[in-house]
Amino acid sequence: MTKITRVEPILIAVPYEHGGPKQMRPLGPWTHMETLLVRVDTDAGITGWGEAFGFAASPLTREAISRVVAPLCVGHEFADVPSFMTDLQRKLHAMGRHGPVSFALAGIDIALWDIAGKAQGVPIHRLLGGATRERIPTYASLLRYGKPDLVARYTREAIARGYTAIKLHERLVETVAPGREAAGPNIALMVDTNCAWPADEAVAMARKLKAYDLAWLEEPVDPVDDYDAMARIRRDTGVTIAAGENIGHAGEARYAIGLGAFDIFQPSVTKIGGIVAMRNAIGIAQQHGVRVMPHSPYFGPGLIATLHVIAAWLPEAMCERFYCELEATPLGDAIVARDGHMQVPQRPGLGVDVDEGVTARYRVA
């Protein structure tokens, strides 16, 4: 048995090179990449690192860790991660099945898997059943530029770096079209609209975008949980629909998949509650023959945990990697994609070292 002695959320904000107009988020311009790290220390002298979602939700998630989740962890022992996380989920179910508490649980879960792997001297993917691949094909998840020339420029640049699949975050035909033109016919092109349109407009836009031979159209509908509308787009247009990063638990995944909402399920390890919760949701998708392509536009342990999950459970999946340059990263080269692939770490636990000099330099809370 291992006792948890400390849980510390560490929010860092790192400047990044965007290449276009700064994107807006609910709280203002998006000028820094925010990563909410979770450090968990134990009486065995082993430290685990996790990542909790993140971005605009960071202040609320940090409070959920400090005020709600950490007090249920510190001083408690765990023998195995699934049992400990199941108990935490049960204790906290009244605080919502999605949102900051669930994000906080994800950070704990990933850190505990890191500890378990280090304690046993094996990488996380071995604890999950073993890796089927050591290199994971990775697609470039471009930021939203809103300008045709920038979309074309960064699409070409990503392809020149070895990516064979590109995801745009655009909402206009005028900015999707240059992406396809720059990519040519042999590069997989996806479009993520981040819940851009009400149902009728989403159907109309899906029909217009069909001409660009999309590998998938991601989260086209507002509100995010209008699963009937997603099913309608699939039925009426034949466009491949992907979604799932905002699904909070396996039960919701079962409901959405039962409605025929999407062709591709995209759970997010830092949102859904961690690796244990992700395993349950992936199992439901696989039972129904729905492809799984995890959501992972992160730069911390959540990205690395996703690599372990893909390596162990998803032999056909790609990994998502945000396409931008950070001023620094606490995980160094572990988050670098080379020739359109990322390496699955082979050292114990997550298999990466956190540069605490970087976390100290960019820490904001």
- Does the domain at 2-122 match CATH 3.30.390.10? Answer given as yes
Rounded Cα gap, residues 66 and 267, in angstroms: 25
pLDDT string in tens for the chain (365-residue length): 899 999 999 999 999 887 666 665 554 556 789 999 999 999 999 999 999 998 889 999 999 999 999 999 999 999 999 999 999 999 999 998 899 999 999 999 999 999 999 999 999 999 999 999 999 999 999 999 999 999 999 999 999 999 999 999 999 999 999 999 999 999 999 999 999 999 999 999 999 999 999 999 999 999 999 999 999 999 999 999 999 999 999 999 999 999 999 999 999 999 999 999 999 999 999 999 999 999 999 999 999 999 999 999 999 999 999 999 899 999 999 999 999 999 999 999 999 999 999 999 999 98
Location of each CATH 3.20.20.120 domain in the chain: 126-354
Pairing of strands 216-218, 188-192: parallel
- What is the rounded CA–CA span in Å between residue 193 and residue 284? 25
Domain with CATH 3.30.390.10 in the chain: 2-122
State pTM to two decimals: 0.96
DSSP string, 286-315: HHTT-EE--B---SSHHHHHHHHHHHHH-T
CATH of domain 126-354: 3.20.20.120
CA-based angle 325:328:331, to the nearest 5?
105
Dist. CA 241–CA 50, nearest whole Å: 30
